[in-house]
């Protein structure tokens, strides 16, 4: 078995003014983490022991309670704390190598493609319709409506952006279509998702001239605008989709 690199002791960590740990899932597809106090470990214990076999089970159990059991592997890293509380802001990570970043960008794009595909409206089969109590005539009528909506789509696009500074993958979904009895109205929507968690971070739309936007990211500091959050939301999404260099 390969030996793990030996890290500093908790005493050395405390001498630097750090008393907390951030336990997080090491899998790129996961994003679960939890800050905990490091006071439970003695001074002579080493940080590398947190990921050792003797203590991993207890850390795993702790994380499992806080993440609903969605865990793959765990690591522990030093986590700087404020006066008496853990910071809740994103922690910058060591930038990946050029090769790893390239591969992660490819993976991010694949996740965006899969997300966009999953959001496409699909035609019903008679078997699927029958499973929910629909007759073939009902299925045909619904499929006709779906085909009409497809024909009314003006714009449908998606994009991805991998941020190496935070190791996050963001997905943008844009769609614009006509609707109404005579297709006299138009609606435009733009959404940005966190690919790892599949959480909707921001949503903006224009419908019959009315513009509305909302950011669901709790760390976002909203700025005032005159368009019911539309400008603020688009600025947030622009930032998430901007390639970091």
Report domain extents, the chain: 10-79, 98-240
Q: Which residue positions in the chain have pLDDT lower than 50?
A: 1-2, 4, 28-29, 52-55, 66, 70-92
Distance CA 93, CA 168 (A): 10
pLDDT at 57: 52
- Structure confidence by residue, pLDDT tens digits, 68-111: 554 444 444 444 332 222 333 344 456 678 888 888 999 999 99
Nearest to 162 by CA among 243, 93, 219, 239: 243
pLDDT at 182: 84
pLDDT at 23: 59
pLDDT at 6: 55
Cβ contact 10:48 at 8 Å: no
Give the SS3 label for residue 64.
helix
pLDDT at 112: 94
pLDDT at 100: 86
Nearest to 121 by CA among 143, 98, 95: 143
pLDDT at 120: 86
pLDDT at 187: 93
DSSP string, 148-180: HHHHTEEEEEEEEEEETTTTEEEEEEEEEEEES
Nearest to 80 by CA among 32, 41, 30, 38: 38
Q: Distance between terminal CA atoms of the chain?
A: 38
pLDDT at 34: 57
How does 141-155 read in b/e, with b if 16+ C-beta sit within 10 Å? eebeeeeeeeebeee
């Amino acid at each position: 078995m390969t030996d793990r690199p030996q890290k500093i002791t908790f005493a050395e960590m405390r001498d630097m003014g750090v008393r907390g740990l951030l336990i997080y899932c090491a899998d790129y597809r996961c994003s679960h983490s939890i800050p905990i106090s490091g006071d439970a470990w003695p001074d002579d214990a080493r940080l590398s022991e947190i990921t050792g076999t003797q203590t991993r089970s207890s850390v795993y159990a702790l994380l499992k309670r806080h993440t609903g059991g969605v865990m793959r592997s765990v690591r522990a890293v030093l986590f700087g704390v404020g006066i008496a509380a853990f910071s809740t802001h994103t922690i910058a990570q060591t930038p990946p190598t050029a090769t790893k970043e390239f591969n992660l960008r490819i993976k991010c794009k694949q996740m965006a493609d899969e997300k966009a595909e999953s959001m496409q409206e699909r035609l019903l089969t008679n078997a699927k319709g029958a499973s929910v109590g629909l007759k073939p005539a009902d299925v045909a009528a619904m499929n006709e409506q779906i085909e009409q909506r497809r024909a009314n789509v003006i714009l449908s696009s998606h994009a991805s952006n991998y941020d190496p500074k935070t190791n996050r993958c963001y997905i943008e979904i844009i769609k614009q279509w006509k609707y109404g009895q005579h297709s006299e109205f138009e609606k435009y929507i733009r959404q940005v998702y966190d690919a790892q968690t599949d959480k909707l971070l921001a949503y903006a739309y224009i419908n019959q001239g009315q513009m509305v936007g909302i950011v669901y990211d709790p760390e976002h500091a909203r700025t005032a605008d005159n368009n019911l959050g539309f400008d603020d939301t688009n600025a947030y999404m622009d930032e998430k989709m901007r390639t970091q260099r």
